[in-house]
Structure 1
């Protein structure tokens, strides 16, 4: 199996878990969008054993996720499903899964903005009233970077692909509101990241 490793996942997993432990205290079934290497899934699954944690990603990333899951052998973390945010209908097959939370980390600055829009639209279909959407990553405020490091990171992203880049929190908020999500919290995280929490009305 092609087990991948992300040092960023190792660095941020404990601060994220500390927030999710509170935000997901009353949750039962979480969809993780963009499980990446699979490291977050096994760490959060072990730390939040009351949850069913559904992994997902593009098919080419499944082998690493499966390798981490096989090693951890957690009954509450499910094998990855194929989700592509460029497909406006990605949420259709999940409508009967009774998920009450969606989590995604470090995806919004990688995806094209049109894919971020489809992610919020799909999450609004997946979650019933009261469902939570948690988004982790770097964000700008009023078009301004929150650190020199984030500005450098954004420049690096844009050299890789024109559609990448750190998103403005105001645009995220407008998008969330358009799909029936009300912001509940904006948690400051290490390394100039944020963990944003919205709830479905």
Structure 2
């Protein structure tokens, strides 16, 4: 994961702080969903936090949560740390987590939820598997994994997502928009048998996984 590009877009840069066009478009819709999905006083680990804008947005709506940034990319962590200056009480200093690393969860505390946006399609499938396995170690009773992004639905897949999948695979054969059923299977193997799909704008979805 660390050897691959971290974004498929040009990002505006102001000092250390980065601005993602895609986050700018979707962060409000995602935050609105997270506001109701996250429990009271949630301690959330964000995987592949990118610029750091999602954490800022949800903390504007929920003053009770603690948001842990992480990313394998050093420049992204610098951006996250800069955004953190706006809300140091809720936003935690970023961690250098790589979902493909052996036992990446070692030494971390328990969390109420794990969140990741637009990551598993620009990483090898092992990164998705790493989230699932790590979540089994880090989430307590009632803990949730929340993924945002495009997903394929077999023959019912949106044409735009099929084209996106083809484009990703042309860049890196290990990338690709993941089939919903494959993602469900990965999390079920890790004990997360409950899966809820929430439709989002522009053929994206939020996938919520929890244990029985």
TM-score, normalized by length of structure 2? 0.87
Other structure's SS at 2:98 match: coil
Q: 1:27 to 1:163 in 2, by over 3 A?
A: farther
Q: Following superposition of structure 1 onto structure 2, how do residues 18-97 of structure 1 map, counting pairs within 5 Å?
A: 18-60=32-74, 61-70=76-85, 72-94=86-108, 97=109
Contact 2:39–2:112 (CA<8 Å) still a contact in 1?
Answer: no
In the comparison of the two structures, how many residue pairs are matched?
Answer: 197
How far is the alpha carbon of 1:73 from its aligned partner? 2.9
| Residue segments in structure 2 that go unaligned for 5+ positions in a row | 1-14
TM-score, normalized by length of structure 1? 0.92
Tell me the equivalent position of 1:108: 120
Q: Following superposition of structure 1 onto structure 2, how do residues 1-201 of structure 1 map, counting pairs within 5 Å?
A: 1-60=15-74, 61-70=76-85, 72-94=86-108, 97-142=109-154, 144=155, 146-201=157-212
Distance 1:43 1:101 in 2: 17
How far is the alpha carbon of 1:18 from its aligned partner? 1.5
CA offsets per residue over residues 98-138 of structure 1, 9 Å max, x none?
31111110011011012211121011111122111101110
Distance 1:14 1:78 in 2: 20
Contact 2:194–2:211 (CA<8 Å) still a contact in 1?
Answer: no
| Residue segments in structure 1 that go unaligned for 5+ positions in a row | none
